[in-house]
Amino acid sequence: MSGLVSIESANLTKSFAPGRVAVSSLDLRIAPGTVYGLLGRNGAGKSTALRLFMGLLRPDQGSAKILGHDLWQADRSLRSRIGYVAQRQLLPGRMSLEDLGRYVGRFHEDWDHQKWHLLVKRWAMDLKVAIGMMSGGEQRKAALLLAIHAMPQVLILDEPAAGLDSVARRELLNLLIEMIQLRPETTLLISTHHIGDLARIAQEVGIMDRGRLLRTAQLDDLQERMKKVQVVFPGNEAPAGFKLPGMIRMKSVGPVVTAVCELDSVHSLEQWRLQSQLRVQTFPLSLEEIFLELFENTQGRSEVDEASRGREKISGGTYE
Amino acid sequence: MKPLFYQIDPHSGLPVYRQVMDQTKHYIASGALVTGDQLPSIRDLATRLSVNPATIVKAYNELQNEGVMEIKQGKGAFVSQGLPEKEIPSRRLQVSRIARQLAVESQQLGMPLDETMGLVEDQWIALGNEQMLTQKKKSFPSKSARSV
Helix (H) or strand (E) holding A280: strand A279-284
A contacts of B16 (beta carbons < 8 Å): 199-200, 220
B contacts of A201 (beta carbons < 8 Å): 51-52
- d(Cα A168, Cα B101) in Å, to the nearest integer? 43
The Cα of B49 is separated from the nearest Cα of chain A by a number of Å equal to: 9
Q: Is B104 on the interface with A (CB under 8 A)?
A: no
pLDDT at A312: 33
Query: Domain for residue A129, yes or no?
Result: yes
Angle of the B53-65 helix axis to the B16-30 helix axis, nearest 10: 50
In this structure, what are the phi and psi dihedrals at residue A272, rounded to the nearest 5 degrees? Answer: -85, -35
Residue B141: which pLDDT band, with cuts at 50, 70 and 90? Answer: very low
Q: A186 or B96: which carries more pLDDT confidence?
A: A186
pLDDT at B111: 87
- d(Cα A286, Cα B11) in Å, to the nearest integer? 5
Q: Do A199 and B14 touch (CB under 8 A)?
A: no
**Residue closest to A26 by CA, chosen among A7, A47, A3, A49:** A49
In this structure, what are the phi and psi dihedrals at residue A147, rounded to the nearest 5 degrees? Answer: -65, -40
Same domain, yes or no, for A158 and A230? no
ipTM over 0.90: no
Is B84 exposed, middle or buried, given 0-12, 13-18 or 19+ CB atoms closer than 10 A? Answer: exposed
Q: Is B11 on the interface with A (CB under 8 A)?
A: yes
Q: Which residue of chain B has the CA closest to A221?
A: B15
Q: How many CA atoms lie within 13 A of B19 on its CB side?
A: 23
pLDDT at B125: 87
pLDDT at B88: 53
Q: Is A283 on the interface with B (CB under 8 A)?
A: yes
The mean pLDDT value of chain B amounts to 80
Mutation site, A175, A220, A226, interface B, largest B CB count within 10 A? A220
Q: Give the number of domains in chain A.
A: 2
Cβ-Cβ contacts under 8 Å between A and B: the total is: 69
pLDDT at B96: 80
For B1-44, the three-class secondary structure string (H helix, E strand, C coil) is: CCCCCCCCCCCCCCCHHHHHHHHHHHHHHHCCCCCCCECCCHHH
Same domain, yes or no, for A203 and A278? no
How confident is the model over B33-76, as pLDDT tens digits? Answer: 888 899 999 999 999 999 999 999 999 999 999 888 999 988 89
Query: Domain for residue A320, yes or no?
Result: no
Cα A47 to its chain centre, rounded Å, is 11
Listed residues A187, A210, A233: the one ending a domain: A210
Query: Domain for residue A217, yes or no?
Result: no
Listed residues A210, A231, A257: the one ending a domain: A210
- d(Cα A237, Cα A252) in Å, to the nearest integer? 9
Residue B19: which pLDDT band, with cuts at 50, 70 and 90? Answer: very high
pLDDT at A56: 93
- d(Cα A143, Cα A134) in Å, to the nearest integer? 12
Same domain, yes or no, for A43 and A178? yes
Positions of chain A with pLDDT under 70 = 1-3, 298-320
Query: Domain for residue A169, yes or no?
Result: yes
Same domain, yes or no, for A201 and A54? yes
Residue B140 has pLDDT above 50, yes or no: no
Q: How many CA atoms lie within 13 A of A174 on its CB side?
A: 14
The region of weakest confidence among B19-23, B29-33, B143-147 is B143-147
Q: Which amino acid is it at B3?
A: P
The architecture (CATH level 2) of B16-84 comes to: Orthogonal Bundle (1.10)
Q: Show the DSSP H helices in B42-144 as ranges.
A: 42-49, 53-65, 89-108, 113-137
B contacts of A35 (beta carbons < 8 Å): 52, 54
pLDDT at B32: 84
Residue A292 lies in domain = 222-315
Same domain, yes or no, for A40 and A69? yes
Residue B7 has pLDDT above 70, yes or no: yes
Same domain, yes or no, for A73 and A186? yes
Same domain, yes or no, for A263 and A154? no
Task: State how beta strands A212-218 and A204-209 pair.
Answer: antiparallel
A233: domain CATH number is 3.30.70
Query: Domain for residue A216, yes or no?
Result: no
Same domain, yes or no, for A67 and A162? yes
Query: Domain for residue A299, yes or no?
Result: yes
User: Domain extents for chain B?
Assistant: 16-84, 112-139
Same domain, yes or no, for A159 and A54? yes
Radius of gyration of chain A (CA): 23
The Cα of B81 is separated from the nearest Cα of chain A by a number of Å equal to: 27
Same domain, yes or no, for A256 and A192? no
- d(Cα B3, Cα A141) in Å, to the nearest integer? 34
pLDDT at A8: 96
Listed residues A154, A181, A210: the one ending a domain: A210
Q: Which residue of chain A has the CA closest to B16?
A: A200
Residues A127 and A154: beta-carbon distance below 8 Å: no
Same domain, yes or no, for A176 and A228? no
Contacts 24+ apart (CB under 8 A), B20-23: B20/B45, B20/B49, B20/B55, B20/B56, B20/B59, B21/B59, B21/B62, B21/B63, B22/B89, B22/B90
Query: Domain for residue A196, yes or no?
Result: yes
Query: Domain for residue A2, yes or no?
Result: no
Residue B144 has pLDDT above 60, yes or no: no
